[in-house]
C-alpha cells in the first residue's frame, strides 16, 4: 500500500507579512495512521525539499502525541526535509493521495496544474483522494470525467467560514474553503467548530479541521481496504 502525501510550498500569509505553510498536526496524525497501518509513504510538494511549516502550528498549545512523535522521529523529519518535487511523481506509482492542510495550499496547490492533474488521474484510476482542513481547497479547479467540478453533487466538508472567522483570516485568504465547495456544487456540511468531522463520498475523503486529520486518514485507509 503506497500513499502519496502532498504538502504546500507556499509560506506567505497573503499581504500580512506573516508566515504560513502546512499545519503540523495535519501531517503528523495522518502520517502515523498510515505508517502504523503498514503503508509506504512518499512526501511531495510543488518545489520539493523542505516545505514551510506554519509557525502557529508549532505553538505548544497545538502539540499532540502525533506531533511530538513526529518531531522525535528521524526518519519522518528526514522525509519532510527532502520531499520530492510534485512534477516528478506519478499517480501510477501510488494507491492513494492525501493532502494535509494549513493555509499554504490555498495559494499554491489550489492553482497548481500538476496537482490538479494528479487528483484527476487518481479519480480516473479509481484511487482514493483525501484532504483535510484547508486542503479541500486543492479541489477548486479539479474536474470530474464529464468536465463538471469534481465536488459537484458530492458530500464534502472542509475548514468552515466560522472557523476562518475565528482565526481572523477571512479577509486574508484568497478564497474561503466552505464557499468554494458550495459554489462548485458540493453538498457541504460541517460539525461544530473545531470538532472532528469527516465525509466520504465515493473515492473522496474530506475532513473539516485539524481535529479531523487522523479520522480523515483512517477513512482513506478504509477505502484502501
Per-residue CA distances from 117 to 50, 133, 189 (Å): 23, 21, 26
Residue 129 and residue 113: Cα distance in Å, rounded? Answer: 16
Would you kindly state where each structural domain of the chain is located, as residue ranges? 2-224
Q: In the CATH hierarchy, which fold is given to the domain comprising 2-224?
A: Rossmann fold (3.40.50)
What mean pLDDT value characterizes the chain? 97
Give pLDDT tens digits for 20-47: 999 999 999 999 999 999 999 999 999 9
Predicted local distance difference test score (pLDDT) of residue 160: 98
What are 41-65's pLDDT values in tens digits?
Answer: 999 999 999 999 999 999 999 999 9
In the three-class reduction of DSSP (H, G, I as helix; E, B as strand; rest coil), residue 206 is classed as strand
Amino acid at each position: 500500500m503506497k500513499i502519496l502525501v502532498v504538502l504546500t510550498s507556499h509560506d506567505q500569509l497573503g499581504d500580512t507579512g506573516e508566515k504560513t505553510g502546512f499545519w503540523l498536526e495535519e501531517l503528523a496524525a495522518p502520517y502515523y495512521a498510515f505508517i502504523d497501518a503498514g503503508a509506504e509513504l512518499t512526501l511531495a510538494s510543488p518545489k520539493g525539499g523542505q516545505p514551510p511549516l506554519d509557525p502557529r502550528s508549532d505553538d505548544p498549545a497545538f502539540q499532540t502525541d502525533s506531533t511530538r512523535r513526529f518531531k522525535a522521529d528521524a526518519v519522518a523529519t528526514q522525509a519532510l526535509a527532502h520531499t520530492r518535487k510534485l512534477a516528478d511523481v506519478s499517480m501510477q506509482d501510488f494507491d492513494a493521495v492525501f493532502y494535509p492542510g494549513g493555509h499554504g495550499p490555498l495559494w499554491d496547490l489550489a492553482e497548481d496544474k500538476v496537482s490538479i492533474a494528479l487528483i484527476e488521474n487518481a479519480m480516473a484510476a479509481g484511487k482514493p483522494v483525501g484532504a483535510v482542513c484547508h486542503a479541500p481547497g486543492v479541489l477548486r479547479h479539479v474536474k470530474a470525467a464529464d468536465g463538471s467540478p469534481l465536488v459537484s453533487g458530492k458530500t464534502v466538508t472542509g475548514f468552515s467560514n466560522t472557523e476562518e472567522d475565528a482565526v481572523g483570516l477571512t479577509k486574508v485568504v484568497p478564497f474561503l474553503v466552505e464557499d468554494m465547495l458550495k459554489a462548485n456544487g458540493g453538498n457541504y456540511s460541517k460539525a461544530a467548530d473545531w470538532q472532528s468531522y469527516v465525509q466520504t463520498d465515493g473515492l473522496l475523503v474530506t475532513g473539516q479541521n485539524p481535529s479531523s486529520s487522523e479520522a480523515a486518514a483512517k477513512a482513506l485507509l478504509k477505502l484502501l481496504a
